[in-house]
A = this chain, B = another copy of it.
Amino acid sequence: MENKNEISKRVLSGERIAVARAITLVENEDAWSIKILEDIYSATGRAYRVGITGPPGAGKSTITNKLAAAYRKQNLKVGIIAVDPTSPFTGGALLGDRVRMTEVEMDGNVFIRSMASRGSLGGLSKKATEAADILDAAGYDIILMETVGVGQSELDIAGAVDTTIVVLVPESGDSIQAMKAGLMEIADFFVLNKSDRAGADQAVMSIKMILNFKPKKNGWQADVIQTVASEGKGIDKIVETIYLHRKYLEDSNKLNDKRQKRMVNRIQELVKEKLHFEFWDETRENFLQLNIENVVRKELTPYDLAEKLLQNFKE
């Protein structure tokens, strides 16, 4: 299969092993990956992409599992991408995989892939999007992208999916705190998981109160769904709300706008990478190395040196 046309062809026919191989090439930033992504591009856009984010321990993996099972009952093919920007400290990606495998194991219509950020220099959400494209082109109907909410990652995921779900738990602490800073903007709806625990009603109330302050996006009002995912409670309601949100996006033509905006960002990223790659040829690398000593010795500022390098590029 080590032929990129062959891989592309097999991805398009939905071959599991080719999908796995293609995602690995994407993950390794292999030169082939961009060719495969080009080959399959026209077959993308059919899958619906759902992002699931929230703090560690909120039960995102369990919810993702249960959602996968629910969609399987509708006979849909499900792709799961677990984006794990948490560090070696937690080992989250690996554990997540194992938990998931016991649940949806052996079902040829569920494809699971964890992508961790270990050591790689960013670009995780780009890679996750490319992996989603591969699953999309391979005929997966629903793609669930799960990420732990740390800093930038939950904002990135919102830019990569059609519907974003933010999962909280009663003990997430101050829900008002949790609502701040971008979360209000990215959540299409909230899930309060483990809502059989103490403090659930109060947490729901706080979230609703804050949601009421939010101007309604003409026609869509974010809400809170209570779940006990480990017992399967509330999962149907999530499925229904995803459906309603999708319908809202489609009917208002917002889905198209959203995907267009996503594509603009992606093209800008592609250009940025390419520019960087083309800029740093041998001549400029050498020029940088020759002058860096002067910067360290404070005879030249880094801003001056950057300017000199750029001057030469433009001429």
Interface string of A53-96 (1 = CB under 8 A from B): 01100000000000000000000000000001111111100000
A216 at interface by CB-CB < 8 Å: no
Q: Which of B89, B124, B263 contacts A292 (CB 8 A)?
A: B263
A172 at interface by CB-CB < 8 Å: yes
A309 at interface by CB-CB < 8 Å: yes
Q: How far is the CA of A41 from the CA of B149 in the complex (A)?
A: 36
Closest B residue, CB atoms, query A289:
B264
Contacting residues, chain B, for A271 (C-beta < 8 A): 276, 279, 306, 309-310
Contacting residues, chain B, for A272 (C-beta < 8 A): 272, 275-276
Q: Which of B37, B54, B91, B296 contacts A263 (CB 8 A)?
A: B296
| Count of identical protomers in the assembly | 2
A109 at interface by CB-CB < 8 Å: no
How far in angstroms is the closest Cβ of chain B from A168?
Answer: 8
Contacting residues, chain B, for A172 (C-beta < 8 A): 89
Contacting residues, chain B, for A298 (C-beta < 8 A): 41-42, 44-45
A27 at interface by CB-CB < 8 Å: no
**Which residue among A270, A278, A280 has the maximum number of chain B CB atoms within 10 Å of its CB?**
A270
Q: Which of B89, B152, B266, B275 contacts A54 (CB 8 A)?
A: B89
> Looking at the complex, which of A2-10, A174-182, A225-233, A242-250 is the stretch in contact with chain B?
A174-182
**Which residue among A34, A150, A183, A279 has the maximum number of chain B CB atoms within 10 Å of its CB?**
A150
- Interface residues contributed by chain A, number (CB under 8 Å): 74
Q: How far is the CA of A111 from the CA of B210 in the complex (A)?
A: 35
A196 at interface by CB-CB < 8 Å: no
A219 at interface by CB-CB < 8 Å: no
Known: A174-B91, A292-B260. A274 touches B310 (CB 8 A): yes
**Contact (Cβ within 8 A) B270 A119:** no
**Contact (Cβ within 8 A) B295 A150:** no
**Contact (Cβ within 8 A) B119 A181:** yes
Enumerate chain A interface residues (CB-CB to B < 8 A).
34, 37-38, 41-42, 44-45, 54-55, 84-91, 117-119, 121-122, 124, 149-155, 172-174, 177-183, 256, 259-260, 263-264, 266-268, 270-272, 274-276, 278-280, 288-289, 292-293, 295-296, 298, 301-306, 309-310, 313-314
Q: List 26 A-B contacts (CB under 8 A).
A: A37-B303, A44-B298, A85-B152, A86-B151, A87-B151, A88-B182, A89-B172, A91-B173, A117-B151, A118-B180, A118-B181, A119-B181, A119-B182, A122-B122, A122-B152, A150-B150, A151-B153, A259-B296, A263-B302, A264-B289, A267-B295, A267-B305, A267-B309, A268-B276, A272-B276, A275-B310
